[in-house]
Amino acid sequence: MSSLHLTNSFTKKKEIFKPLSSKKISLYACGPTVYESPHVGNARTLVVFDILFRVLKSVYGSKVIYVRNITDVDDKIIEASKKNKKRINEITERITKIFHENCKSLNCLEPSIEPKATEHIKEMIQMTVSLISKGFAYENKGHVYFSVISFKDYGKLSNKNLEELKAGSRVEISSLKKNPLDFVLWKPSKDEDPGWDSPWGRGRPGWHLECSAMSEKYLGKNLDIHGGGLDLIFPHHENEIAQSCCNNNLKKFANYWVHNGFVTINKEKMSKSLGNVISISNAVEKYSGQVVRLALLSAHYSQPLDWNDELLKNQKKVLDKWYNLYLEETKDVNFKADEFLLDDLNTPGFIARIHELYNAARDGDNEKKLKFNQACRMIGLFNVSKQDWDNLKKRQINISESFIKEKIKDRIDAKNKGDYKLADKIRDELLSKGIVIEDQKDKTIWKYK
């Protein structure tokens, strides 16, 4: 396959990718809502769209613009703030920082633009005003709703009609709505909650509106590719389509819709509501960013991926082997996406190809080794040197979590007995093994140096 093909969730078909313009390729992926540490399910979306970005760049170079937003105003954030008795900004800033650290350890390229919802309220209000004036939205007591019956294509992405949608989804019931499926564009805020002045009083935007407003601002009215996890198809992406198509009088908002499958644990979706999440930070700490990344790429993006120790251990073994042929000098070399990656981002096929390249390189000349290294870098591997990889391995072999916890306990005991000399000795011992400990108000935490 010499040109890029993608499975378009809108048509449910694998299609050849044809850009809207020869000057610019636009990719928008819905980013995180920053209220809790991102988990491995979120990491899959990150890594899948990072691969798509890399593949697009390998074909179209610097013409590709990748926008990934940060949702920093949302009911979930307000809830978290009340529950944890923390200021909203404190939560959103802390989680955004963790998110960025996670992206870095997973070796995701930075998106071209990373807009924050709270910095685009003006655009969201403008869009709402415009949708009301065109008859697609209505106000009722400080709330503004989008009227789904005003958009005849509503339900096309999720392939359902209004009746099916009503029956199958948990829509918010409200006497203020004309139709239960109508969704909120703007809602009033209580005094203590985040809010902005608007023609309908002090309030805040609905989540779906945020992406329509931000994608238009940075990418224009039409997009080449829009994506996210499978759970975003309905209602989030369906509603983005309704808003953007109606406001801009479009037949199509994005030409291609790409959705990744779920990370599961024991066949159940990893999600905060089920309480079965593993944070990216923990997974990276335990296995390293590269192992997590390779595991996330081991299945085709459209399929579910079951997360378990066996999977991670296997990926670690693979990387240990591949690092035998690591070359420092391939850092800046570009590898063109091959037929596997162009074929709907077939990462398992590409990984099998890397295994073949490894076998050929093992007894081969430097050129073969270079090719193998370039292939690894194409999917974002080999971002740490051989020496760092070996150190990481040593650390993981030498120190188990239970060992660290025991040492921390010994240190607390020593401190309680007033033996500060011993306490310091234990701290230094851990430090020499690459573990930093930090005393907090009522506990001691640890991290790798």
Task: Report the interface residues with ligand AMP, using CB under 6 A.
Answer: 30, 32-33, 41-42, 44-45, 228-229, 231-232, 260, 262-263, 269-271
Piece in contact with Zn ion (CB under 5 A), picked from 22-30, 163-171, 263-271, 292-300: 22-30
| Helix (H) or strand (E) segment spanning residue 27 | strand 25-29
Can you list the positions of beta strands (E) in 368-448? 435-439, 444-448
From the list Zn ion, ligand AMP, none, which binds 307 (C-beta under 5 to 8 Å, kind-based)? none
Give least dist CB 229 to Zn ion, A. 10
CA neighbours within 13 Å on the CB side: how many for 322?
Answer: 30
From the list ligand AMP, Zn ion, none, which binds 231 (C-beta under 5 to 8 Å, kind-based)? ligand AMP
Number of CB atoms found within 10 A of residue 348's CB: 14
Residue 30 is a binding residue for Zn ion (CB under 5 A)? yes
Give least dist CB 372 to ligand AMP, A. 30
Give least dist CB 21 to ligand AMP, A. 26
Q: Of 172, 150, 176, 154, whose CA–CA distance to 163 is shortest?
A: 154
Tokens encoding 117: 């919802």
How far, in Å, are 208, 217, 371, 381 from residue 366 at the CA level?
51, 47, 9, 19
CA 58 to chain centroid, in Å, comes to 21
Dihedral angle, C-alpha 48, 68, 105, 321, nearest 10 °: 20
> Residue 370 and residue 367: Cα distance in Å, rounded?
5
Q: What is residue 382's three-state secondary structure?
A: coil
Give least dist CB 211 to Zn ion, A. 3
From the list ligand AMP, Zn ion, none, which binds 271 (C-beta under 5 to 8 Å, kind-based)? ligand AMP
From the list Zn ion, ligand AMP, none, which binds 211 (C-beta under 5 to 8 Å, kind-based)? Zn ion
Give least dist CB 264 to Zn ion, A. 23
Give least dist CB 32 to Zn ion, A. 11
From the list Zn ion, ligand AMP, none, which binds 229 (C-beta under 5 to 8 Å, kind-based)? ligand AMP
Q: Which residue has the tokens 């093909």?
A: 5
Give least dist CB 9 to ligand AMP, A. 12
> Residue 268 and residue 78: Cα distance in Å, rounded?
27
CB 54 within 8 A of CB 307: no
Helix axes 88-105, 75-84, angle to 10 degrees: 110
CA 317 to chain centroid, in Å, comes to 26
Nearer CB in complex with Zn ion: 70/108: 70
Give least dist CB 320 to ligand AMP, A. 27
Piece in contact with Zn ion (CB under 5 A), picked from 25-33, 90-98, 134-142, 255-263: 25-33
Nearer CB in complex with ligand AMP: 37/107: 37
Q: Which amino acid is at 319?
A: L
Strands 13-16, 263-265: pairing is unpaired
CA 214 to chain centroid, in Å, comes to 17
From the list Zn ion, ligand AMP, none, which binds 124 (C-beta under 5 to 8 Å, kind-based)? none
For residue 323, report the phi and psi dihedrals to the nearest 5 degrees: -65, -15
Nearer CB in complex with ligand AMP: 42/222: 42
Tokens encoding 114: 């990373």
Give least dist CB 283 to ligand AMP, A. 13
Considering CB under 5 A, how many residues would be counted as binding Zn ion?
Answer: 2
Residue 211 is a binding residue for Zn ion (CB under 5 A)? yes
139 by Cβ neighbours in 10 Å (0-12 / 13-18 / 19+) ranks as: middle
Nearer CB in complex with ligand AMP: 63/300: 300
Nearer CB in complex with Zn ion: 70/294: 70
> Residue 314 and residue 250: Cα distance in Å, rounded?
48
Give least dist CB 262 to ligand AMP, A. 4
Nearer CB in complex with ligand AMP: 9/147: 9
Piece in contact with Zn ion (CB under 5 A), picked from 125-133, 154-162, 206-214, 355-363: 206-214
Residue 357 is a binding residue for Zn ion (CB under 5 A)? no
Can you list the positions of beta strands (E) in 129-181? 137-140, 143-146
Shortest Cβ contact with ligand AMP: which residue? 229
From the list Zn ion, ligand AMP, none, which binds 56 (C-beta under 5 to 8 Å, kind-based)? none
Residue numbers at the binding site for Zn ion (CB under 5 A): 30, 211
